[in-house]
Structure 1
Amino acid sequence: MSLALKPLRPVVEWLDEPPLAFANGLTHIDPKVGIPAAGPWSRDQPNHPASVTAGFIGTADCIAKARAWLARAAQGVDGDDDHHPFCGFQPDGPFASQLRTNGPEAKITANEIRELTADRLKRLDGLKHLLDLIDNRLAKLASLDAPPTLVFIALPADITKRYWAVHQMNRGVETVWNLRAGIKARAMQRGLRTQLLLQGTIESDLEAHTSDLDHPADLAWNLFTAVYFKAGGFPWAPVGIPEGTCHLGVTFYRPHGEKSAMRTSVAQAFAENGDAFVLRGNPFTWDGKWPHLPADEAARLVADVIDRYTQTMQRPPRRLVVHKQSRFFPEELAGFQDALNGHEYDLVALAPSTGVRIMRHGEYPPPRGACLSLGDRRYLYTTGYVPSLGRYPHGHVPTPVQITDHIGDSATGDLLREVLLLTKMNWNSARFAEKIPVTLRFAKEVGAILRDLPDTFPPEARYAFYM
């Protein structure tokens, strides 16, 4: 007996590049064009930060270099044929905001640095000691009558290299302790937002591209876009997301030292205007290769998101879109659907794919926005050649993102357009786009920080504390 197989007929489509919204009603596909042309989206809104006071933690030398580098970068940085010039961060410039670099400081002494680099000191003990020192300085800045808007932390390169990530085996489980996550968790408990500045950055030449870092204009763009958002502003807003829509990314993390117990973290629960918030799930255990939620926990997460959205937007959501990187298990699916009763919804699983590629004639890789359909499978290129830029703005060979699962109300094409738009919503930089939508990209980063946050401390809802 022979089995006749129907051949799959590949269909390739191309989705237009989604625009973003800036001040004065301007829309454009690129933040590095939209902001200089019109200003950030919230420039004329109540949440616009007209002034940002910078505080500093670090050695005396690193703080002095950080102040000088920031003050110089805020004046603007030249670009070249492949890099947009940075427009500056000045009251009379497009950002209409001023970074005050003469804010308070809390120094880490030479003796304290010497203790942290002692040969006898175990790395995990050293990291915990370093985090205690930084927490002590954060407490001092937080106790001021006028705490800084944003705290820049500038440490010597040998310290950040030594303690950036510390691996530990505990009961047969490897745990990674992360310096950045530890700082964010402690700053959150002090009510402060932070920005790490590496020594290589503050010693880089803004007049010429002479280091292994990104181009100086790109460094300035990424840093000051993040500064503007952490101070309360929205650099840009999404265009085309239906009113009443809330996107949320669901991912999982394991508490330090735990072998099976896990938590969920919901990061970047996105309202249609770009406003975002973070929620932490309850501990749970799971069986099998892929972590997935019990039905009651899936339902509780959705209920919490609906409540938070309603508080933020002053109205309940009409539609919810859940992004995961693994397929929806039956009990998980049932929990989500029960909680979403009465709402439009889409449950979408997205995963990077290396098994399927599109090849094209010519010099450039497939264009961003190319979508390959093979039967009921969809592969979307979120990175690739950008025709409007006339170049490929990424340093790696592009691979698509696969839609591995979809249950819900929307047409596939509409979902893919939203995914493409959400790859442009990383306010931690001014890059043209990312590979993974912001819902999932930030969910993983948030999980790393929540791992360092005590269970007794309610996590800050605003994402600016996690960036």
Structure 2
Amino acid sequence: MTCWKVTHIDEPDLSFGFGQRAQHPKDGLFLYGPLKSNRNPARMDVGVIGTESGIALFASWVRSIRGKIEAPEAGRPENKMMWPGFQSVFGIDWPEVPFTTCQVNGSELDERIRSSNRSEAIYNAVGVYEDALRRHLVNEEARPHMWFVIVPDIIFKYGRPKSRVPKQDQIPSRIVSRREANRMLRDGWLFAEDLKDTEIYLYEENFHNQLKARILDTQQVLQVVRETTLVGGDLGETKRRMQDRAAVAWNLSTTSFYKAGGTPWRIANVREGVCYVGLVFKKIDIPGRKDNACCGAQMFLASGEGIVFKGAVGPWFSEADNSFHLKRPKAEELMKLIVTAYEDMHGKPPSELFIHGKTWFNEEEWDGFSAAVPDTTRLVGIRIRRQNEIKLFRLGKNPVLRGTAIMLNERSAYLWTTGFVPRLNTYAGREVPNPLTIDIVRGDVELETVLVDLMSLTKLNFNSANFADGLPVTLRFADLVGEILTAAPLEKTPPLPFKAYI
């Protein structure tokens, strides 16, 4: 008879200020401020790229977050928290006047995004912002900590995959179609003037991802924001349902502080020398080549520091079992980059290295990972999957507690990273919460240690000030990072901070 053990993993504490603790990021920031660090910015030196109206909206928004914003009377309980003002929360000033501004032509943007060819439209619209940024980097020595890229809603509307401009609003394109470009590449029949047209189709039809990918070489950090976000979703004829103004202030200010170099918080109970790595894979289709996927890895420390490493493009995807696996040389090469980066930061290799993935690690790739890790480092492979087939109910009207776990054996468990949260007195979801399936597939470690770590890693998303995520940060942004790595034909991408991707 199988005996399952039901347990509960306590909600992890976060560390703020001079070591004070809280479970909710908003509580800790409100009461104690961000974790004190010499790397925190002295003030928010922010550059802005946008149209004339976008730059004006940004200035108005900065003025608003310098003061108090009341919480909404209606809405879910977890969102009801007033915004006390940027300096009150982070202890530094966000000047009303931006560090620098780069104005782009709104009419030119409108014309470019309306091209009947979606690849051309998005490529050329991205070019407006990219050109403005690169001109500044060439002509000016001073650099802001980060850039706000303010985009009109028409760019968001027509800059997404599968978006279509109504026929009556289209501007006819004169470049070759994607089908014709593929035929030319396949047959090797290209004139010089056609070459640039065909290159456009190597870029993803996604404004956000393509912009991030095309400026990675500059090592500049961007925050892409819609104009309507800055005015609460009401701008002219555009109406949006979105977060309340106080919630927007919390989330956008937190990610901006992080992207400017600050450390909002860290995990309170930290084991020294621990490193977490999330594997990233993205399927690609390269005409005439067997390579079908790009690989990468995200390294995270308990402090929240993150670095993204791009691996090689290769035949990593298997149609047979619908999974991704690296060959031994590439697995070793990728892991060597990670171990070297950790040693550069800490002066020694990690004592524990956990690799998180969505598929099993086969013998060949695990041999590669192991060859890159010194004998003094405990290497462990963890498989993490979303689970929709099992439900757990408790007596009463509230769903299962976040942190509930069912240990199936010494190496497998179900973990509910979503559920009822006493601090919020609510469950933020709409349906019965589903667990994650956790499997220790390689190496040896106590299962409860893995579950505690994963709960902590759900609270390291500096892209917002929310209570927690449903996935650990090692996998929470894996798809987005993979999309940015493949959004442009990048031959070499150096290891860059995680904040350059989100």
Q: TM-score, normalised by structure 2?
A: 0.84
Aligned equivalent of 1:248, options 253, 272, 277: 277
- Counterpart of 1:87 in structure 2 is 84
Report 1:246-285 matches (<5 A): 246-255=275-284, 257=286, 260-267=291-298, 269-285=299-315
Provide closer, same or farther for how the CA distance between residues 459 and 75 of structure 1 changes in structure 2, counting only shifts above 3 A.
farther
> How many residues are paired up?
452
The percentage of counterpart residues that share the same residue type is 27
- How far residue 414 of structure 1 moved from its aligned partner, in angstroms, is 0.6
The CA deviation at 1:374 is: 3.3
How far apart, in 1, do the equivalents of 2:492 and 2:273 lie?
A: 30
TM-score by length of 1: 0.90
Unaligned runs of 5+ in 2: 164-177, 184-200
Separation (CA, whole Å) in 1 of partners of 2:312 and 2:349: 24
Q: 1:132 aligns with which of 116, 127, 132?
A: 127
Q: What are the Cα deviations for residues 95-146 of structure 1, in whole angstroms up to 9, with x where unaligned?
A: 012223422222222430342244x531110000011111111113323232
Show the 5 A alignment for 1:376-391.
377-391=412-426
Is this contact kept in 1: 2:110–2:154, CA < 8 A?
no
Describe the SS at the equivalent of 1:361: coil
- Give runs of aligned pairs for residues 7-156 of structure 1, distance below 5 A: 8-41=2-35, 43=36, 45-80=37-72, 82=78, 83-90=80-87, 93-103=88-98, 104-118=100-114, 121-143=116-138, 144-156=140-152
Residue 283 of structure 1 deviates from its aligned partner by 2.1
1:413 aligns to what SS in structure 2? helix
- Residue 329 of structure 2 is aligned to residue 300 of structure 1: no
Please state how far the C-alpha of 1:175 moved relative to its aligned partner.
8.5
Q: Equivalences for 1:167-206 in 2 at 5 Å?
A: 176-204=204-232
Amino acid at match of 2:268: V
> Which residue identity does 2:372 align to in structure 1?
A
Q: Is the 8 A contact 1:366 1:384 kept in 2?
A: yes
Shift of 1:296: 2.1
SS of structure 2 residue aligned to 1:51 = coil
Kindly state the Cα deviation for residue 61 of structure 1 after the two structures are TM-superposed.
Answer: 1.3
In structure 2, relative to structure 1, the CA distance for the partners of 1:462 and 1:39 (3 Å cut) is same
1:48 partner SS: coil
Name the structure 2 match of 1:371: 405
Q: Deviations over 1:307-328 (max 9, x none)?
A: 0000012222111100001111
1:283-432 to 2 correspondences below 5 Å? 283-286=313-316, 287=318, 288=320, 289-342=322-375, 343-375=377-409, 377-432=412-467
> In 1, are the aligned partners of 2:212 and 2:222 still within 8 Å (CA)?
yes
Query: Would you say the 8 A contact 2:417–2:455 is kept in 1?
Result: yes
Once the two structures are superposed, residues 206-244 of structure 1 have per-residue CA deviations (whole angstroms, 9 ceiling, x without a partner) of 9xxx96101222211110110111000110011223101
SS at match of 2:94: strand
Q: Which moved more, 1:368-377 or 1:345-354?
A: 368-377
Q: Distance in 1 between matches of 2:460 and 2:267?
A: 7
Q: Which residue of 1 aligns with 2:267?
A: 238
Partner of 1:3: none
Give the SS at the match of 1:351.
Answer: strand
Tell me, in whole angstroms, the C-alpha distance in 2 between the residues paired with 1:114 and 1:106: 17
- 1:431 deviation in Å? 1.0
Distance in 2, Cα, partners of 1:324 & 1:126: 35
- Secondary structure at the residue paired with 2:205? strand
Separation in 2, partners of 1:151, 1:379: 41
Offset at residue 365 of structure 1 (A): 1.2
Map of 1:203-222 to 2, 5 A cutoff?
203-204=231-232, 212-222=241-251
SS in 2 for 1:24: coil
Q: Residue 266 of structure 1 contacts residue 281 of structure 1 at CA under 8 Å; is this kept in 2?
A: yes
What do residues 389-408 of structure 1 show as CA deviations (whole Å, max 9, x unaligned)? Answer: 22113445421110144322
Instruction: Name stretches of at least 5 consecutive residues in structure 1 with no aligned partner.
Output: 1-5
Q: Is the 8 A contact 2:265 2:303 kept in 1?
A: no
Letter in structure 2 aligned against 1:272: A
Q: Is 1:227 matched with 2:256?
A: yes
CA distance in 1, matches of 2:7, 2:470: 18
Cα shift at 1:21? 0.8
